[in-house]
Amino acid sequence: MTRTPVNVTVTGAAGQIGYALLFRIASGQLLGPDVPVALRLLEIPQGLKAAEGTAMELDDCAFPLLRGIDISDDPNVAFEGANVALLVGARPRTKGMERGDLLEANGGIFKPQGKAINDHAADDIKVLVVGNPANTNALIAQAAAPDVPAERFTAMTRLDHNRALSQLAKKTGVQVSEIKKLTIWGNHSATQYPDVFHAEVAGKNAAEVVNDEQWLADTFIPTVAKRGAAIIEARGASSAASAANAAIDHVHTWVNGTDTGDWTSAGVVSDGSYGVPEGLISSFPVTAKDGRFEIVQGLDINEFSRTRIDTSVQELEEEREAVRGLGLI
Ligand code: NAD
Ligand code: LMR
């Protein structure tokens, strides 16, 4: 194979998501079975030794697509020539915390990383922010990278999307593959809004198939929105393999496109669609084609949805004000 490897930078490489992510990237699941990858791992100094151990294990897998592993604690080195950057490294919340409580602790990580991306990444850089609070961290990184098109900064709500698919499949008794056009709107937080009103279950409108607004309001929405906390309660640690899986799904879709007749959810820079203030990184229904996400246009938003979207978007605006106050944007 003579193709030039794609440089994939992963921050927080020695963390639990990193461990669930790196082997899948190296095996070709992120970009495709014929795309060679070179890994750039970024860690803080205390994480370097563990990252080296993970690199030894990656070597021991003898992945045919893996064309090199570099490890650094310097963002300027780790983002050099990066084509894809997965910003995972951040402190996870623990029991009793909301993701927004991490704003100050983690916000400071994303400004220097955004600048390093601005100064060193490849022209086609695509950034996915996983570290929480993901939407606002993505905004911080994006604001620090004025030379990179804003649309290249995205935040992960694909885990929420996958959680919603799974809950809806259970309720309606179909396979997840029979559910299309589900949407997560807003923030990756407890205010997010999983919307089934445009979704299809085996070709029929999902809201009509469910036909139970109380289940939507009292069971489905809170189960999806509070799933992160439920995982922390059950595992004693935040979701890791499912988060890594969603990161793989997000980038794979971004690079390889969505299926005809379907869409997915991603935190992308708002262009003002659906009344979401321009510039916020909010989750929308998106399609992907030719390496670009596009917000699905023209959906009717009913009152049930409108109030919930507005609540989550208002929280994003408050987070934006908070990081402005901290001098992070
Ligand atoms: P973890 O504590 O296991 O690992 C985090 C790693 O990041 C550690 O190895 C740490 O040393 C490293 N790190 C910290 N600061 C860094 C920096 N400045 N540069 C590089 N590396 C740095 O945590 P985890 O479970 O892997 O979770 C990581 C983040 O992902 C958390 O913020 C968590 O809340 C978030 N998360 C998001 C989603 C989502 O759906 N968006 C889902 C799950 C977890
Ligand atoms: C999740 O949704 O599982 C992650 O964002 C971790 C968390 O803090 O909920």
d(CA 277, CA 296): 16
Residues assigned a catalytic role: 188
- The residue nearest atom 3 of ligand 1, judged by CA position, is 15
93 is in an annotated binding site: yes
User: Diameter of the chain by CA atoms?
Assistant: 56
Peptide bond into 146 cis (omega under 30): no
The rounded average pLDDT for each run of 10 residues, N- to C-terminus, in the chain (329 residues) is: 88 98 98 97 98 98 98 98 98 85 88 98 98 97 98 98 98 98 98 98 98 97 98 96 98 97 98 98 98 98 98 98 93
Q: Are 81 and 170 in contact (CB under 8 A)?
A: no
| Beta strand segments in 50-174, E | 66-72, 84-87, 126-129, 153-155
d(CA 44, CA 51): 10
Q: Please give all residues whose beta carbon lies within 6 A of any atom in ligand 1, as ranges.
A: 11-12, 14-18, 42-44, 47, 88-93, 109, 130-132, 134, 156, 159, 188, 238-240, 243
Q: Are 285 and 105 in contact (CB under 8 A)?
A: no
d(CA 217, CA 59): 48
pLDDT value for 96: 86
pLDDT value for 120: 98
Predicted interface score ipTM higher than 0.85:
yes
227 is in an annotated binding site: no
pLDDT value for 92: 86
With a 6 Å cutoff on the Cβ, whether 238 touches ligand 2 is: yes
pLDDT value for 2: 62
d(CA 211, CA 222): 18
**3-state DSSP assignment of residue 267:** strand
Q: What H or E segment, with its residue span, contains residue 306?
A: helix 303-325
pLDDT value for 107: 83
What the block records as the tokens of 248 is: 């793989």
Residue (of 156, 90, 86, 161) closest to 126 by Cα position = 86
Q: What H or E segment, with its residue span, contains residue 11?
A: strand 6-11
DSSP state letters, 200-225: EETTEEHHHHH--HHHIIIIIHHHHH
- Give the ligand whose atoms come closest to the C-alpha of residue 227: 2
d(CA 196, CA 16): 31
Give the mutation target among 21, 132, 191 for probing the ligand 2 site: most ligand atoms within 8 A of CB: 132
Cα dist from 263 to 183, 257, 266, whole Å: 8, 9, 10
pLDDT value for 55: 98
Q: Kindly report the backbone phi and psi dihedral angles of residue 154, in degrees, each rounded to the nearest multiple of 5, phi listed first.
A: -135, 160
Q: What is the pTM of this model?
A: 0.98
